[in-house]
A and B are shown apart, each in its own frame.
Chain A
């Protein structure tokens, strides 16, 4: 059973804080993703990583950075949290090369920035 684990279910942070969201997958997947999900806006891709130390900007990378030092772990960093980054953050992983691009999601981190 594929497991994608996000380190926190709920986080409350203050404006200007540096925030780390951690994601770990146990299926040796090459691809990992960070999305944010907001009512009426659907899933929006923040960053994508297709290998260790490799990353690609998604649709809304501004205000975010990522780190992938190990294959199983993909971190999302909010350099200076702002209230408009209050959202549900979802991590996902998928195997490379199948073409299907089926993604396996974590349970999500609900972040509130006050």
Chain B
């Protein structure tokens, strides 16, 4: 079983919809939780980063971490066609010596 499982998708939503992207994990040592966005034919880029449990908001994006359930989510409000991309969750522990564990990614398409 993988350490990080990500809802596989693909997801297709109409413009303006609220999107929920989710990952579960098994390693209780993970403390840092990241969401990367990857546009087609590009490398991933960091979208949001959260430490430990709680919520973090940045514009239309909210990252949520529930360590007790080992579950993280990324919410996108008022989704736009420009949000169409693959979203990767990633997690790390302070003992990981620089490495992160990535989910397989969820591909989102927002239709105008």
Contacts and interface: CB of A to CB of B under 8 A. Distances in A.
A90 B98 contact: no
Nearest to B34: A102
User: Chain A interface residue count: which class?
Assistant: 20 to 34
Given A107-B43, A108-B42, A101 B102 contact: no
Given A43-B88, A90-B44, A99 B104 contact: no
A33 to B, nearest CB: 8
Contact of B104 (A41, A45, A108): A41
Interface in A25-72: 30-31, 33, 40-43, 45, 48, 50
Contacts of B46: 102-104
Interface string B29-68: 0011010100001111110010100000000000000000
Q: Which residue of B42, B90, B94, B104 has the most chain A CB atoms within 10 A of its CB atom?
A: B104
Interface of A: 4, 30-31, 33, 40-43, 45, 48, 50, 90, 92, 94, 96, 99-108, 110
